[in-house]
Amino acid sequence: MAVFQFPQQTNYYKGKVRDVYSIGSNTLVMIASNRISAFDVILPSPIPYKGQVLTQIAAYMLEATKHICPNWLQTTPAPNVSIGKRCEPFKIEMVVRGNLTGHAWRTYNAGGRKLCGVTMPKGMKENDFFATPIITPSTKASEGHDEDISKDDIIAGGLASATDWAVLEKYALELFDFGKMLAAKQGLILVDTKYEFGKIGDTIYLMDEIHTPDSSRYFYADGFEEKQAAGEKQKQLSKEFVREWLIANNFMGKEGQTVPFMSEEWINTISKRYIELYETIIGKPFIPQTFSNDATYNAIVAALG
């Protein structure tokens, strides 16, 4: 993906998946690439249409949740481009979990019963619902691995004040509850997700993407209880299947490990899974769009005015 230089650009940051441009002091341009990361490592092969899927799901969800909290997004001038307000980010991710899955399950299965200061009940099986959703925050690392952190350590470390934490917690749980409702309408279960927030003055804004396959995990509701009773794996729409493939091929992002070869067939399979989630959660056909670098640049400049 090309690196642009926009009028009044003040900064450029290349993340694992997104390229972020600061325009003046108040505006961000976020371009979602087709890069894919897992275990905090960028995998070598891009995934067709992934950037468009992430951008369009996030735009849909941000519009749908404006009644819960303000968010950063102002416009999406190209298939994989978002433009919005520049916030001062909290350096934490608000991870909300409705089920014992993924990292929480790996911790639980290894004998741990506490995650980020939250006690997980005894006697649970993989993918069981928690009685109520739990928040298991992580630090937002600029490089390397994000790390689990508790609410008490967040407040003690000055990553958020007690007052701000109360707002973050309220927003995160309300967003998750609304996301579960939207998912249920489409025959899905929103299993877990992460939210990122920032501030402009004293106002807290929802930032980045929400309820996408990069930030969330979905199960199909149909057959969920039967699979749980039989101890079978749940059918899911998320990036977890990529992580599972990597683990099966002896890669978890640890030193000395090599990313396994990604065949063209496997790359296309990942792309189809991303598109499947778009069509399932949005309830509309996905329309692939391809913008050239010049067309993307011109669309962004026009939107910036």
CATH number reported for the structural domain that contains residue 193 in this entry: 3.30.470.20
Residues 299 and 186 both lie in one domain: no
Query: Does the structure show a pLDDT above 70 at 145?
Result: no
**How many structural domains comprise the chain?**
2
Question: Residue 270: its pLDDT value, please?
Answer: 93
CATH label of the domain that carries residue 77: 3.30.200.20
pLDDT in tens, 57-84: 999 999 999 999 999 999 999 999 999 9
Residues 102 and 205 both lie in one domain: yes
Residue at 174 is within a domain? yes
DSSP, residue by residue, 175-219: HHHHHHHHHHHTTEEEEEEEEEEEEETTEEEEES--SSTTTEEEE
Q: Which two tokens stand for residue 198?
A: 């920032």
Q: How large is the average pLDDT for residues 212-224?
A: 92
What does pLDDT average to over the chain? 94
Residues 202 and 95 both lie in one domain: yes
Residue at 3 is within a domain? no
Question: Residue 144: its pLDDT value, please?
Answer: 55
Residues 47 and 166 both lie in one domain: no
Instruction: Give backbone dihedrals phi and psi of 53, rounded to 5 degrees, phi first.
Output: -60, -50
DSSP letter, residue 34? S
| Rg (the chain; Cα; Å) | 19
Residues 120 and 255 both lie in one domain: no
Cα dihedral 116, 118, 120, 126 sign = negative
Percent of the chain with pLDDT over 90: 87
Residues 71 and 51 both lie in one domain: yes
Residue at 4 is within a domain? no
Q: Which of 187, 203, 233 is the last residue of a domain?
A: 233
Q: Which domain holds residue 270?
A: 9-87+242-304
Amino acid at 46: P
